[in-house]
Amino acid sequence: PKVFFQSLMIDTPTSPVTSGLPLFFVITVTAIKQGYEDWLRHKADNEVNGAPVFVVRSGSLVQTRSKNIRVGDIVRVAKDETFPADLVLLSSDRADGTCHITTASLDGETNLKTHYSVAETSVCQSVSRLEALQAVVECQQPEADLYRPLGPENLLLRGARLKNTKEIFGVAVYTGMESKMALNYKCKSQKRSAVEKSMNTFLIIYLGILLFEAVLSTILKYAWQAENKWDEPFYNQKTEQEKNSSPILKFISDFLAFLVLYNFIIPISLYVTVEMQKFLGSFFIGWDLDLYHEETDQKAQVNTSDLNEELGQVEYVFTDKTGTLTENEMHFRECSINGTKYREANGKLVPEGMTDDSPDGSTPHLIGDELLFLKAVSLCHTVQISYDQPDCLVGGGDPFSHANGFSSNYMEYYASSPDEKALVEAKGLRTLVVACRHFSPKEYIDVDRRLNMARTALQQREEKLQEAFSYIERDLQLLGATGVEDKLQDKVQETIEALRLAGIKVWVLTGDKHETAVSVSLSCGHFHRTMNILELLQQRSDNECAEQLGRLEDHVIQHGLVVDGASLSLALREHEKLFMEVCKNCSAVLCCRMAPLQKAKVVRLIKTSPEKPITLAIGDGANDVSMIQEAHVGIGIMGKEGRQAVRNSDYAIARFKFLAKLLLVHGHFYYIRIATLVQYFFYKNVCFITPQFLYQFFCLFSQQTLYDSVYLTLYNICFTSLPILVYSLFEQLVHPHVLQNKPGLYRDISRNAMLSFRTFLYWTLLGFCHAFVFFFGSYILMGEDTTLMGNGQMFGNWTFGTLVFTVMVITVTLKLALETHFWTWMNHFVTWGSIAFYFIFSLFYGGIIWPFLHTQDMYFVFVQLLSSGSAWFAIIIIVITCLFPDVVKKVFYRHLQPTSTQKSQVTWGGGAGRKNLCMKCVVECVSESLIFNLYVSSSYPLYVFSCCRCTPTVWR
């Protein structure tokens, strides 16, 4: 707005369109891009908030939207529907008043949980009886804890899904932002990448350069005019108004005029190019076949393209366990009955050391201990059987009417515990101890009364339940134990190891108990078997916590640390700095028994530490949303049912293993592309405007422009825009396979290495040097040319400016060509096409008298310029003079001080080195890499005589 306002001044050296058009273009493109992404998020929110629901009103079921539900509304939910609010279960269509739900979207748990209707309302199964119901619900104030239900498993949380039950009725007690799911969200803030922050810092520096040049030019103008011979030259006599005007106002006017003249040093169009690069570049993630999960038909998803380059800067990964590292699918492995180990063989239990030789259909003989063990496993569970295809049943729907009982192909097991489901289906090992105790009828009535009182208590419910369980679980007879495997997701261990080699620390944050969490950490490679594991568990006071932290501080190098939620709260209250020192020096950290908001606090703790590391959080459930929103980059895992994490994430992937390529390949590419883009833009704008500043020394600071206004407008929009945009979309320093096979290369770009102040200063000084060569080289080589104008006179202002502009366009375009490692046909087209377009446009623009232009300054100028042999000589000499030292520097450093990335380029030949691949490997590389390269790359030859990926091969 300031630039546009200045352009409207009467004495502006450039037209308002020249300065205002790029600014208007920037604002328009940015608004469209941001608006499109906001619309996508708004659309996703409306799918949830606008979902149709049925409520009981005026004696009938009335359809309304989820967002219109109020506390006290009685809501009907059908099978497979999501609960629109936190509901107290009033009644169910099941005879026992129960219903089954899955909370996959909340905590990633795919197993079924059984909930019970309130005893007083369980018979109200019709709309008319519910309408006539008069009742009061006593409950706590809204709180974030997902694991403190209202009564005896009466509360159905928003986001959970009804399963294996036809329909239920529930009364809304917490709605909207008071629901437990909403209370576990943090206010979503606008995330900005480290590159964007650096870019803003550099803009401030360039604003300082702009102000310095404007002030210096204004001062020098008045210093020059102090000499009478330069004050009023014969060709520019002052008017009476100018002579009588205030010196202060005239100084301000001149200062503002110089600001307008030099304002192009601020690369406004940089924002347009960055927005386009991020938006278009984000499609590559969705197109990558390596990030596609065939089993679930899910591809990677980008919700926020503003953070693409941040994927290449991650230093800490915070991951959930259940559903993220594990499949949350339990498989029966073995059990122990009365000291004898049994394993599964052909669907039967077989003692260790024996094989199953019995014919199919035979029933093994069971002795007393074995029979009692199997009875306990068969009876003490909450497993339900669902027949989703009733047509498969015969004999009037009797599931046992088949000759061999019933077919498992047509039924599905649901259980409140995945361990139970695995045992009934008997398909790190989890150990479950099986024991029994015999109750008399009188003892059973007493036990039932104690449990019911504890479950319905509004005060100290957890303590009362613990007392009841302690009373029941005594004098038990041990029957045996089971071993159940919680299956890890594919390639989790390899992914964690790759992240560790890349210099990324992995923290596991889970709500699971200590033993289970440690077991999974060991099995997935987060903790090594030989690693000494330190513990900060069950701390009860600040002093005790401080003492334990002090002991741990001296023994943390290359060790693992386990912390529980209670101890973490104490550590963060008074000993945050000491706790941080312990954690940062550990190889791996595991936080168990974590509440959702505690996960976010841990992320914030690291994120706001003095080093300001870039953090990434990944999870699949609603309990992970807070940490996903808190981290610099949030990634949602597309679980079997849950979508809360995906909706609130910046990126979404189907499996944890895809994280490695997302960071090590896509993150690496995005970062180097945009880092070069930003610095190149500053470089080419310094090259552009510095000759304008130097020219003022030759025109007595009269604010005369060196370039024609059309060139001023089109330099960033047309002549130099496409090569850097295409570069920022397709550049690859090294092959994707190298980045995946050598995770250590990720460290070369960590801590914003390619956009440091040192590299920024290099590009800026290079721009100033090239600008000096453009200006003075043109002046020296062409200043005394007598053939240029054809009449023995020196060439004029516009011809000189056009020569400088021509050299500049060619040099900055070729400079980018020198930075390009991976050439596609698109790079060739826009690089050489941009130079050709400039020449064609200039010939066309200067070859016609335009009736709508006030002046015809450029008429026939470009034709006369190109008709001079010395002009061509000057162009060639100046371009070589600018670029040759840069080429020598690159060769010198590559051979004497090569980086790890440059060494890998030598090994694999870099991007262009794909020419050393045989056609078979080319097909494999393309299928394993970005599929878009299949269409844009022309780097693959038809005849290759040696392949650097497989054995040397001749292809003809």
Residues serving a catalytic function are 320
Q: Which two tokens stand for residue 514?
A: 């200590």
Amino acid letter at 740? Q
Residue 188 near residue 629 (C-beta atoms within 8 A):
yes
- Tally of helices (H runs) and strands (E runs) in the chain: 36, 25
Q: Which two tokens stand for residue 910?
A: 């870099």
CA gap 119, 501 in Å, rounded: 57
Residue 663 per-residue DSSP state: I
> By C-alpha distance, which of 564, 667, 562 is closest to 614?
667
Instruction: For 444-476, give the secondary structure using H, E and C.
Output: HHHHHHHHHHHHCCCCCHHHHHHHHHHHHCCCC
Find out whether 82 is annotated in a ligand binding site.
no
> By C-alpha distance, which of 645, 681, 653, 710 is closest to 490?
653
Query: If you write DSSP's letter for every residue of 726-757 in order, what string do you get?
Result: HHHHH--SS-HHHHHH-GGGGGGGGGGGGGSH
Cα 752 off chain centre by = 17
- CA atoms lying within 13 Å on the CB side of residue 141: 0
Find out whether 510 is annotated in a ligand binding site.
yes
Find out whether 487 is annotated in a ligand binding site.
no
CA gap 882, 670 in Å, rounded: 28
Find out whether 456 is annotated in a ligand binding site.
no
Where is 342: in which H helix or E strand? strand 340-345
394-407: burial string, b at 16+ Cβ within 10 Å, e else: eeeeebeeeeeebe
Cα 148 off chain centre by = 32
**Facing residues of 394 across strands?**
none
For residue 270, give the 3-state DSSP assignment: helix
Find out whether 813 is annotated in a ligand binding site.
no
Residue 306 near residue 657 (C-beta atoms within 8 A):
no
**Dihedral angle sign, alpha carbons of residues 308, 309, 310, 316:** positive
Count Cβ atoms within 10 A of the Cβ of residue 61 and give its class: 0-12 exposed, 13-18 middle, 19 or more buried.
middle
- CA atoms lying within 13 Å on the CB side of residue 809: 28
Find out whether 624 is annotated in a ligand binding site.
yes
**Dihedral angle sign, alpha carbons of residues 695, 697, 700, 702:** positive
In the sheet that holds 161-163, the strands lie side by side as: 109-116, 98-103, 161-163
For residue 942, give the 3-state DSSP assignment: coil
Find out whether 80 is annotated in a ligand binding site.
no
Residue 238 per-residue DSSP state: P
Residue 798 near residue 865 (C-beta atoms within 8 A):
no
For residue 75, give the 3-state DSSP assignment: strand
Pairing of strands 505-509, 588-592: parallel
Phi, psi of 830 (to 5 degrees): -80, -30
CA gap 598, 474 in Å, rounded: 34
CA gap 920, 909 in Å, rounded: 17
For residue 880, give the 3-state DSSP assignment: helix
Find out whether 450 is annotated in a ligand binding site.
no
The count of other CB atoms within 10 Å of the CB of residue 129 is: 15
**First and final CA of the chain: distance in angstroms?**
62
Give me the count of residues in the chain: 956
Q: State the residue for tokens 């999974």.
A: 520
Phi, psi of 109 (to 5 degrees): -75, 120
Find out whether 430 is annotated in a ligand binding site.
yes
> By C-alpha distance, which of 167, 169, 187, 168 is closest to 177?
187
The count of other CB atoms within 10 Å of the CB of residue 102 is: 22
Amino acid letter at 27? I
Annotated binding site for ATP: 320-322, 406, 430, 510-512, 593, 599, 623-624
Annotated binding site: 320-322, 406, 430, 510-512, 593, 599, 620, 623-624
Annotated binding site for Mg(2+): 320, 322, 620, 624
